[in-house]
Amino acid sequence: MKKLIFIMTLSIMVLVSCEREHYCDCNNNNVPSNTVALSTFYIDVKPEDWAEYDDEEKYVYASFEAPEITENVIENGLVISYFVDGEYDNQLPYVYPVPLLTDTIYENMRFDYKKGVITFIIEDSDMGFAIPTNEREFKVCVFSPN
């Protein structure tokens, strides 16, 4: 009986040992080929940077060069943007409440991008043009596959 237990224990140890060696890739120092580079930058948008779109759509926009946004990023990567409000980063699209004297309206902030360009857009809930009177800061994160 003791021999049987010894043989079974030894067999289990051999099997576990073989399994570990089979799955262990301890000598492989290769870096994965599916890595991503992150580029983060901030854009300050001044009141004079905003332009009105048209009388039907009624939103304001501000476009900026962003060479980090390449064709590779558009096809295989990711662009995320945030409205920086003090110590908070609010991911776009973001609905921002604007209290007025008699009511509160909401600004829908969002962004569009194409190769080399990012555009920030603000559309008000009252469907009027509302060019911000203060400077707005946006954070942009570009994930570019290698």
CA angle 125/128/133 to nearest 5° reads 95
The reported pTM is 0.73
State pLDDT tens for residues 73-124: 999 999 999 999 989 999 999 998 888 888 888 999 999 999 999 999 999 8
38 has a pLDDT exceeding 50? yes
Please give the Cα distance from 38 to 124 (Å, whole number).
Answer: 32
What pLDDT is attached to residue 52?
86
What pLDDT is attached to residue 27?
57
What pLDDT is attached to residue 73?
95
The tokens describing 5, both together, are 């237990």
**Percentage of residues in the chain having pLDDT higher than 70:** 77
Query: Which among 146, 57, 48 is positioned nearest to 110, based on CA atoms?
Result: 57
